[in-house]
Amino acid sequence: MTSVAENLSAIKGRIEAACLRAGREPSEVHLVGVTKTVPVDRIREGVKAGILILGENYVQEARTKVDALADLDISWHFIGHLQSNKVKMAVDWCHCIHTLDRESLARELDRQARKLGKKIPVLIQVNIGDEETKSGVSSENLFALFRMASSLEGLDIRGLMILPPYYDDPDRVRPYFRKLRKLLLELKQEAPFPERLTELSMGMSNDFEVAIEEGATLIRVGTALFGTRQG
């Protein structure tokens, strides 16, 4: 198994190449190291190598890791489907939530954030592929959810997130990334704070270069960084 440092160096090279093709600065793209099922020691190795943001899919697994790595300066992002009964625990440790997808979740996030005196950054997850097996608000209902969530004091809406269909050929995912970028531009037209809508969370190990070419600011990389998941 290659070291996380070696993997990170290779990924940074690919990010820089993708940015060059797109006429972007590499500093515009932030890597979220996806640590689902990754052992704490290997995560620590990654942080030592230079990973600044970690993304977790399960609230309880994340809580254990947050405690175990409390001595490190890490920004923790939640990138999995969030159940309303897990919101209190998530808001306690999370620096950003990528998966706001319904009004009831927005209200609970707002309620728990305000109880802690927080204003938590969130992204709205959009199900552009209309896949029944995936979470996310439909493109048609995005604007209503955005307007509602934007009125809540405990939430800081920062952009959009997508988990598109998987294809072996990354270029087949490009239309989904392109549509998400278009939706963000449309949101900015009606947003009371367009300057805060800066984030596009899209792209994973198999397609992050295409996502960068289409405007991704947050790429979620697990396997290419930490190796094949154990479980």
pLDDT tens digits, one per residue of 87-112: 999 999 999 999 999 999 999 999 99
Q: What's phi and psi for 225, nearest 5 deg? A: -100, -50
Tell me the torsion sign for CA atoms 141, 142, 143, 146: positive
Pick the CATH number of 4-226 from 3.20.20.80, 3.20.20.10, 3.40.50.300, 3.40.50.150: 3.20.20.10
Q: Over 135-163, what HEC string results? A: CCECCCCHHHHHHHHHCCCCEEEEEEEEC
Question: What is the structure's pLDDT at 135?
Answer: 85
* Banded pLDDT at 231 (limits 50, 70, 90): low
Boundaries of every domain in the chain: 4-226
Output the six-digit token pair for 78.
């939640």
17-43: average pLDDT: 97
- Asked whether the predicted pLDDT for residue 215 surpasses 60, the reply is yes
Q: Check: CB of residue 226 under 8 Å from CB of residue 189.
A: no
Question: What is the structure's pLDDT at 230?
Answer: 61
pLDDT tens digits, one per residue of 12-22: 999 999 999 99
Provide the β-strand partners of residue 32: 53, 220
